[in-house]
Homo-oligomer: A and B are copies of this chain.
């Protein structure tokens, strides 16, 4: 197992737990909880694969993702009473997932020889669109369109990844530095309550 694989599976479990928690708060049944955990964990990467024509989508060819999501879901259901007190560790998991999936998506874009802007878009999509699909299925406005520096951290991480790749051929260095940048931006933004400004016109 390479560092890349390890990070990939850790990100999947982290996102699955965060999805399962949202679904349980909405009082979904276990099937619903699993599906929301599933789309939160692999929804962004699935959209990425479908848009670039990478068939079948990644989690169909490699059962590890499904096992990781099942483990995350069952763990969340069992530990549901303790997880309330653990919202900080969950926030951390979700942030780690954000960093890791950004790397996975950006790297796939490079592999397919896409324009750098598309590579960054694929990284951001992989990292943050699972949460968008989760919110749509839970009938909520996607959180990342309104609050917190979330996708922004992923965009900056994608840019960093492309820049760092130019200076080193050591992939592990690129992975670690990029994840740390994404995680640091998000932690700082939440700590100091930084938000992007919003511009709005009058309601029609």
Cβ contacts under 8 Å, A137 to chain B: 132, 136, 141-142, 145
Interface string of A2-35 (1 = CB under 8 A from B): 0000000000000000000101111111111101
Q: Is the CB of B145 within 8 A of A29?
A: yes
Known: A53-B55, A55-B52. A27 touches B77 (CB 8 A): no
> Which of B50, B87, B145 interacts with A51 by CB under 8 Å?
B50
| CB-based nearest B residue for A81 | B201
CB proximity of A22 to chain B, nearest CB, Å? 9
Q: Is the CB of B118 within 8 A of A31?
A: no
What copy number does this chain have within its complex? 3
Q: Is the CB of B202 within 8 A of A84?
A: yes
Number of interface residues of A (CB under 8 A): 61
Cβ contacts under 8 Å, A55 to chain B: 51-53
Q: Is the CB of B80 within 8 A of A199?
A: yes
Interface string of A54-72 (1 = CB under 8 A from B): 0111001001001000000
A: residues with CB less than 8 A from B are: 21, 23-33, 35-36, 46, 50-53, 55-57, 60, 63, 66, 77, 80-81, 83-84, 87, 112, 114-115, 117-118, 132, 136-142, 144-147, 151-152, 155, 195-204
